[in-house]
Amino acid sequence: MGYFGCHLSASGGSAAMVKTAMSIGANTFAFFTRNPRGSKAKKEDAADAAKAVSMLESDGFGKLVAHGAYTMNLCTADQEARGFAADILEDDLRRMAALPGNFYNFHPGSHVGQGAEAGIDYIAVALKNALRHDYPVTVLLETMAGKGSEIGGRFEELKAILDAVGNPNVGVCLDTCHVYDGGYDIVNDLDGVLGEFDRIIGLPRLKALHLNDSKNPFASHKDRHECLGKGSLGIETFRAIVNHPALRDKPMILETPNELPGYQAEIALLRSLES
């Protein structure tokens, strides 16, 4: 049985998220470590986190996939903004230690003009610095749609970051909408794309997936998520993904335009696709 879940609101605390997840048939979930479009983080609550940890264990959850704020751009040319993003990253990893052993995924960022190479160097410096504490969390770089000056639209860029960081505790989260939008044809050639991922990055680095359909056609670099089966990826693509031997044991997180009942229905749909 696969690990399926969705983004949940963190406002009620960690134990409440586990309860909500169970109520919609999820056995993993994602949450924003702080306001996704700002930077404010919730007050820490060790007792709540400990309760969540024991619930996750007794109820057989897969690894959680926390998500960094969208505003955290580690590779901006603006030195002050970059320093602020690096501080947030470090604080997020420290906070994740309350839920040990889980994943923390973030968008590599947009280099906004100074070039991908310089951007990749900035990201690597920030990651190396944040990882020096050895907090019990695995950091994941998200595959991006390649919108504007976004870094992470090509597997080669993610590989360059991983190489520059040189820490085995960094992996990749594959977003189905983003890779298709980025020009990797998982609809017609999932095995070919995974083969390319394996050649360039190495499949052992693939730790989690974001399952989203796409509102736009192949390679459009737009990044607009759609509900499963209602976009250009289609249900058969998700059937192939949830049953793929290289993917089926990974946590799979929905980021589709839904409220909880919609997520509950999509999780049931994913389970019905499993063979």
In this structure, what are the phi and psi dihedrals at residue 174, rounded to the nearest 5 degrees? -95, 120
By CB under 5 A, residue 48 contacts Zn ion: no
Shortest distance (Å) from residue 58 CB to Fe ion: 29
* Catalytic (active site) residue 244: no
15 or 28, CB closer to Fe ion?
28
The answer for residues whose C-beta is within 8 angstroms of residue 110's C-beta and 6 or more apart is 73, 75, 76, 119, 148, 149, 150, 151
CB of 119 to Zn ion, least distance (A): 19
The residue among 62 and 68 lying less far from Fe ion, judged by its C-beta, is: 68
Ranges of beta strands (E only) in 40-169 are: 65-67, 102-106, 137-142
**CB atoms inside a 10 Å sphere around CB 245:** 7
* 154 among known catalytic residues: no
Query: Smallest gap, in angstroms, from Cβ of residue 55 to Fe ion?
Result: 25
Q: Of 56 and 141, which has the nearer Cβ to Fe ion? A: 141
Give the nearer residue to Zn ion in terms of CB position, either 67 or 95: 67
Known catalytic residue: 70? yes
Catalytic residue, chosen from 48, 92, 150, 255, is 255
126-141: burial string, b at 16+ Cβ within 10 Å, e else = bbeebbeeebebbbbb
Catalytic site residue 210? Answer: yes
Return the range that interacts with Zn ion (CB under 5 A); candidates 166-174, 188-196, 217-225, 236-244: 217-225
Alpha helix ranges (H) inside 201-257 = 235-243
From the list Fe ion, Zn ion, none, partner contacted by residue 210 (C-beta under 5 to 8 A by kind): Fe ion
Q: Give residue number: closest CB to Zn ion.
A: 223
Output the smallest distance, CB 177 to Zn ion, in A: 6
Under 8 Å between Cβ of 150 and 144: yes
User: Any contact of residue 213 with Zn ion (CB under 5 A)?
Assistant: no
**Closer CB to Fe ion, 53 or 103, in the complex:** 103
Distance, CA of 53 to CA of 77 (rounded, Å): 39
Question: From CA 99, how far away is CA 96, in angstroms rounded?
Answer: 5
Residues that bind Fe ion (CB under 5 A): 142, 175, 210, 255
Residue 223 binding result from Zn ion, Fe ion, none, given CB thresholds of 5 to 8 Å by partner type = Zn ion
The secondary structure element, H or E, covering residue 22 is helix 14-23
**Would you count residue 223 as binding Zn ion (CB under 5 A)?**
yes
Both tokens of 227, joined, read 């509900």
Catalytic (active site) residue 189:
no
3 labelled catalytic: no
What is the Cα 249 distance to its own chain's centre?
Answer: 15
Q: How many CB atoms lie within 10 A of CB 272?
A: 10
Of 48, 90, 181, 223, which residue is the catalytic one?
A: 223
What residue ranges bind Zn ion (CB under 5 A)?
223
Which residue numbers are catalytic? Answer: 37, 67, 70, 107, 142, 175, 178, 210, 223, 225, 255
